[in-house]
Amino acid sequence: MLKLIGLNIVLLILSFQVLGSDRVNFNSSWKFVREEALLNVDKLHKLDFDDSQWEEVTLPHTTRLEPLVVNDQWQGISWYRKKFKVQSNPAKKRIFVEFEGAMNIAEVWVNGQYVKKHFGGYLPFVIDMTDYVSPQKENVIVVKLDNTDSEITGPKPLKILDFNTYGGLYRNVWLIEKNPVHITFPLLEEKVAGGGIFINYPEVNANKASLKIKTEVKNTTSKVQEVKVAQTLYFKNKKVMKFQGSAFELSSNNTKTVTQDLSVKKPKLWDTHSPNLYKLVTEVTVDGKVVDQQRTTIGIKKVEFVGTELYINGQKRYLRGTNRHQEYPYVGYALSEQAEIRDAKLIKEAGFDVIRLSHYPHSTAFMNACDSLGLLTIDAILGWQYYKPTDGFRNQIFQTARDLIRRDRNHANVLLWEVSLNETKMPLEFRKKLSAIVKEEYPIGASYSAGWMNEGYDVFFQARQHRILHPDDQEHWKGPYFVSEYGDWEYYSKNAGLNQHQLDKQTRYETSSRQARAYGEKRLLQQAYNVQEALNDNLQTTAFGDGYWVMFDYNRGYHKDIEFSGIADIFRIEKFAYYFYQSQKDVSKKEDAMVKIASYWDENSPLSLKVYSNCEQVKLYLNDQLIGEQKPDQDQKSTNLSHPPFTFALKEFKKGTLRAEGYIKGKKVREDWVKTPEKAHHLSIVLADRAVPLASQDVVFAYIKVVDENGTLVHDHQEEINVSLEGDIQLMNTETLTTDAGIATALIKINSLKKDISIKAVSKSEQLKGSLQRKLN
């Protein structure tokens, strides 16, 4: 099932995202410079400014490529300039530009005229350029970015922040032309629960769904216009219904919101198992001619809480989830849309239902992927251990909460709005105001606020992990509860409730969940054990779901090392704990059986062998001889788990092949095997596209694996690797590639698909070589 999703996801996203025929990618041919020397700012905004010495870049773009471990992230002022032409006459068209993400404070000039200042690097903003551009002539847009610490946007200063806030125009920019009568932009109109298109679901059940569609139309002409708004609903490109609205008069330079009610019989409901998506096409006509059209992806679902329990479409649910930071190594936040999709796929394939977007809004591309894959999200504003009692800061946070909802309100995947400053003590009236904003901006149907303090929000999150702040131990919270972070801090901190203060420092590190792949098999198994124990603990509480900290290893900014509690590393290579989570999904028509041997099976491997599987029974063979057959463990109070791991106690190590077979109702349904690695023989190169087609300006990992003659990974081989590339691609690594647990990872940028690509690798000793060729057209 997941393979099928992988093949179709890009088509789903491209066909279902909010898109207009007048929306053009504006990412190419920007000029860029970091303000590391004095610039003539007075002339910089003008068309005739000489930017020939500036670097030419294509977005998404980061202000500086960083090392793998980022201790001194670049902060400062940077500038972007782009010359462009508009074919349409601004007297007859409206010209807009939309920035999806500009870190952190942006100022914009068009043809030398100051247009806008925007605070916050994680949410989009829109500019109406109509009065500033000239048709058929060269125009220039200039953007100044400041990603230094801000007392207005927060979070706390970068030198003590536990993640990085990378600079640049790191998401898409769009040039948008609209007719004088058009659908408005929610972020431009600044209206509570208004602007653009907003779809609510007042009633949802298996027999009927009611849709309330609000469409705001603007008339920028000098005359009264007779306008109609029509809605057409499609499912899998087949028309479900069409609603033709009545004509109305719209006066000059005015807006009107049209509310239309649709009823869908026997709707295909959206949930994590069946992410059914409809396409709503909204058409605005003037005198019978279509003047604007917008396509919006929607998923029909019903979310409600009954006491502490969560129900989705009438079914009680426990949601298994994780947290994600959006960074990539070297390029920071400047991910391609395809890279965002690959992350979402990896999370879904790990067996998760929900992802907490920590601790800021993630990209529209990632949200689209979650819609298509059936991943619920906890959508969050920026915040981390920082509150300032000033009007500037408070109003910025209030505005951010509104903008988040206005951007994401039509996404099927949103479960909760985390309008909370993570791990920050906030005044109660501040929390209540943020929670009230959720109700104001999403006034019809289910909308729930969430935060880490137990007053002021609909759903309570804890700030630290299990065994510390479960609300069962508190007197003042009896409502819905989500374990927002667990499995890391309580195994790491000296004061986190597991008696770490009695351990020496090295033992504490070895028994924590912060385990790099390079630390070896035993410590990766320790992380997986911690995950199992912690998840089991969550299942004994009133929580309706949880979020493991964290999905991917990430940079901590102030710290000398990467944070290694991810169940996949920063290069998105899975650890053993990944497969533990994968095994917790029940086998069904939509979920595959899985078996994974958590061992490298060499002479240093533990003889207490773990096999992760969601099967009823597992048989283990060594060199085709049956070692034993097991039902799941019942140790360490694991009875709350859906599928505890299988444990096989081997008496001694014998070189050869381990094979695990999974059985359901006596029938073998899946197997896994691992071979003892022999001497390193060559390099095998795998492009980690994860069945998401490569695209221009894509970034993708190439895994360069040290393997023996049989193709088995040699985990203990460490050596520098030299890489050479052919085609319109480039290496983004800023440091020498070195194998890490047998794998060196190159981050490759695909500049275009014009040429086929070739990747060649050779070890420093020149004893190991490998190559990969990929046709792109």
What are the tens digits of pLDDT across the range 321-346?
999 999 999 999 999 999 999 999 99
364-373 and 2-16 helices, crossing angle to 10°: 130
Distance (Å) of CA 389 to CA 119, 427, 437, 558: 18, 9, 19, 25
pLDDT at residue 13, rounded to an integer: 46
Amino acid found at 220:
T
What are the tens digits of pLDDT across the range 406-461?
999 999 999 999 999 999 999 999 999 999 999 999 998 789 999 988 889 999 98
Q: Are 757 and 725 in contact (CB under 8 A)?
A: yes
Residue 456 backbone class (left: φ over 0; alpha: ψ -120 to 50; beta: rest): left
pLDDT at residue 136, rounded to an integer: 84
Number of Cβ within a 10 Å radius of residue 406 = 26
What is the enclosing helix (H) or strand (E) of 320? strand 319-324
pLDDT at residue 637, rounded to an integer: 43
Residue corresponding to tokens 């972070």? 485
Distance (Å) of CA 59 to CA 142, 198, 450, 507: 14, 29, 34, 45
pLDDT at residue 99, rounded to an integer: 98
Where the chain has pLDDT below 70, the residues are 1-21, 463-476, 495-499, 501, 632-639
Residues 768 and 129: their CA atoms lie apart, in Å, by: 56
DSSP at 723? E
What is the enclosing helix (H) or strand (E) of 177? strand 173-178
